[in-house]
Structure 1
Amino acid sequence: MDIARVFCETFNIAETDAQKFNSKFVHESLPKNSYFLRTGERCSKFSFIASGLVRVFAETEKKEVTQWIGNAGYFLTDVSSFLFQQPARWNICALSETTLWTLSYDDYIHFEKDLPEWNMLEKRFVAKCFAMMESRIFDFISLSAEERYAQYFKLFPHHFNQVPLQYIASVLGMSPETLSRIRAR
């Protein structure tokens, strides 16, 4: 996996600038059921998922809430914890054997000195995160449970064979029973 190519495609930057990332990202394996991050820790890494599946979730007094299920091709971090170095709200756990390309917080900070365009790239990354969040909020307030299911299935059909359905139901903001009824139709 060439992380430079990922940065070229994701952030629309020149290959020569993107090559500066290759030496800073290190290969990391995350065994199934192991944690990338636990609630209360400070997130010290920013990763790209090369293969595998991860779940981002929190535990409340009443239940576990799955915020996101990530797969190959997505970036992985607890944005608030990583950027502001505050305790993480989320647990991040591997649902399968997962391969990551990981950048440390210290190297992330040093990119500002090494790469003149870094502030623009960081802005694009945060904007992409915000746009995803905005889209998800819109879906929750404007789509029915059936429409959210159909949209998720269209985007992530492979999750339905690899991820426990209660996690998918949680991502969709519904009970496992509601998800089962929708799937039966």
Structure 2
Amino acid sequence: MHQTRTRRGWHPSPGPHVTASNSSSSARENLLIFAAAAASPDDLPLYCRNRMLKFLSKVRVEYNALDPRKAACVEILAQCNARKAKESNPSCQVELQRRTDDSPPRIAVTYVNGVEEIIDATGIPAQAIRQRIFDRGQLLETEQMFREAGEPWPVLIPEEEIHQSFPGTKPKKAEEQKQ
């Protein structure tokens, strides 16, 4: 793997054998996808390294190839197509729909419980989209644990318990522990 020096430091680059011509936006787009997928796992946040698709049954990415607002879509698509992400959930379908109209880029995710969420990716960074998917997935996981344990979901906390004071715990000092 070759590395390229930028203002922010050294980053992996696809190497000299991959080029993008100015006449083809598809080649440039493929280069971006390749470069994003070639990034080391340490560049990705911990929560999305192996769990990007764990909670999803389908991901559909839609954007116009000439739209400058497509960056988050391209990044999410590259991460969904990464080997480790596919290994985390091989049954998840990843679809790309290239549009020719002026509609904003969007990502439609279907969770394992069947709920579909459509995310307008115009002004949201890819990291925020990943965090949103992860948070919803954590909620699904918690719900599943409660249901398997035979507990009702959602958990209802009585009003009087919410307003109770909690004395807290105070760590004992070393001198107090000796006595």
Q: Return the TM-score normalized by structure 1.
A: 0.25
Q: Larger C-alpha radius of gyration, 1 or 2?
A: 2
| Structure ranking higher on relative contact order (CA contacts 8 Å, 6+ apart) | 1
Greater fraction helix: 1
